[in-house]
Amino acid sequence: MSLWHVDFNELYARHLCRHSQFGINVFHLAALFVVWFGVYGFVHCVVHTPWAPIAMAAAYLAVLVPNLPPRVILVQAIFLAGFVLCVLYIPALPVWACWAYLVIIPVAYKIQSWSHAWFHIEHDMTEFNKKYTKGYARFFVLLFYEVPMLLNYLAYDQKRWVA
């Protein structure tokens, strides 16, 4: 398992084992938006240049592009553009309060974790667990690819919304 060589369709199939309900995908996307907003907002607050969040989003997209289908690249790019605009145009905190951005990260992450209790349909993951074992590699692959998987589900997989 590698961050640089990901089989997006296989990773998406794994994603659907735990995230086959519309609600959990919406909750996770919202929570991840807030998590990443905390990260980007903190950087923007500290360095005070719009180029920092733009460069971060561009680098993130560049890592993803080789492994995403074109339709997911498109929706990911649109999402990132809107996200960066939110970071840049929501009034920044004063430098002495930049730490507040860091506080929202674990709070949003915990809300994302709690959503599994509300949306509890899961399918057998035995085969996926053999390949995607717990550890840093899986953590970073999911950290980078969860937003594209959620966007793929919400933008292109409407037939699963009723599940």
Give 10-residue mean pLDDT values along the chain (163 residues). Answer: 77 83 90 96 93 97 96 97 95 84 93 79 68 75 92 87 57
Give the pLDDT of residue 106: 95
Q: Distance between CA 150 and CA 102 in Å, rounded?
A: 23
Q: Distance between CA 24 and CA 116 in Å, rounded?
A: 7
Give the pLDDT of residue 146: 94
Residue 89 CA, chain-centre distance (Å), reads 21
Dihedral (CA of 36, 40, 43, 46) sign: negative
Dihedral (CA of 62, 72, 19, 36) sign: positive
pTM for the whole structure: 0.88
Give the pLDDT of residue 85: 97
Strand, coil or helix: 159: helix
Residue 8 token pair:
């997006």
